[in-house]
Amino acid sequence: MSNRHFPMELISLIIRDAARNMKMLCLLHSTWVPLIRPLIFDVLVADGQCDILAWQDLFTSAPDIPNHVRHVTLALEGVTLGDPVVVEEFLHCFHKVLSLALLSFELDYNILSLSPLRTVRSLILHNCLLDDVLPDLKYTFPHLTVLHIVDFVAGNLWSHVAAEQA
């Protein structure tokens, strides 16, 4: 039986959490690469140890990889980024991402609202200023169904609520 006919559920059961096995399968035969990539790149976590520019270089060399990413977590506390637009551009690589978690990280929602992340259904915001988030939230994530906000500063929250009700 050709590996093209294996159901993805079976492949994921066989090689779940076995990075060395996945690497071996890809090295064994190139036909495994498209089957393994969705398993490897389903969840992407970018934290203080991560270099977003290195990820972007990887995506440039293999442009199909971002299509497999469904869940992105950005926890860049303590990281100084040279260009604040880099992260917003980074998020636009993922055309099929379903959930986004921003942990102690602020995005420029004005930039994102110009080119919305239409596939995001679930958003987790941790340690944010609601004044920066609320005005553009419905434009930035037009299909958002779940919103978790943890540890926030309300700022001038009531003016945004009053503007929405008017």
CA–CA gap between residue 132 and residue 153 (Å, rounded)? 10
- The predicted-structure confidence for 29-86, as pLDDT tens digits, reads as follows 888 888 888 888 888 888 777 777 788 888 889 898 999 999 998 886 655 555 555 7
The pTM score is 0.74
In the sheet that holds 146-153, the strands lie side by side as 43-47, 71-75, 99-103, 122-129, 146-153
Any idea which residue has 């060395």 for tokens?
A: 20
What is the token pair recorded at 69? 């990413």
Say which amino acid occupies 101. Answer: A
- The predicted-structure confidence for 81-125, as pLDDT tens digits, reads as follows 555 557 777 888 888 999 999 887 777 777 777 777 889 999 998
CA–CA gap between residue 34 and residue 26 (Å, rounded)? 9
Cα angle 42-48-133, degrees, rounded to a multiple of 5: 75
The values of phi and psi at residue 92, to 5°, are -75, -5
Helix or strand holding residue 85 (H, E): helix 85-91
Q: Are 150 and 130 in contact (CB under 8 A)?
A: no
- The predicted-structure confidence for 130-143, as pLDDT tens digits, reads as follows 777 777 888 888 99
